[in-house]
Amino acid sequence: MKIKGVYQKYMLRPLIYMTAYRLMLALIFLLIIVRFVKGGPAPNMVATFLTVLFALLGYLVYLRMDGLGIPRMKFIRPKKKADPLRHAASMTDYTDDEPVTFDELEDDEKNLCSLLANVINFVIFLAASFLL
């Protein structure tokens, strides 16, 4: 799987959102462990744990991109109610490019965004494990 062949310009927004979301969750976990666990691990140990976690998640996504199928349960979504008619226009009606969300990407693009988000967070927490 070639990354350059899959990556497109419109994938930057979902990549940034996914990276920021995972980074915030990991930082909240780090702060909760350091702050509220009395006599718990040092911050660099928690950052090392998060580094290993993001490396593992990135490797699993890489395997999925390579063709490994992970069995999953089917997610049954409840039926949505019809949105009420609104007369206000959306701001996106006036822009040239439609913003792309993560759900609108194809499977290989989703996998690439997830892999890059895990790699970016891996690098951030690898640096944090040495600096904390």
Which among 33, 36, 30, 76 has a CA at the least distance from the CA of 50? Answer: 30
What pLDDT shows up at residue 121?
94
Sign of CA dihedral 63, 55, 20, 28: positive
What pLDDT shows up at residue 59?
92
pTM tops 0.95: no
Which pair of structure tokens corresponds to residue 26?
């990991």
Which among 12, 6, 30, 1 has a CA at the least distance from the CA of 120? Answer: 12
Cα angle: 16, vertex 108, 73; to 5 degrees: 95
Domain boundaries, the chain: 11-69+104-132
The residue to which tokens 């967070």 are assigned: 121
pLDDT tens by residue, the chain, 132 residues: 566 777 788 888 889 999 999 999 999 999 999 888 888 888 889 999 999 999 999 999 888 888 877 666 677 777 777 666 666 666 555 566 667 787 788 888 888 888 999 999 999 999 999 987
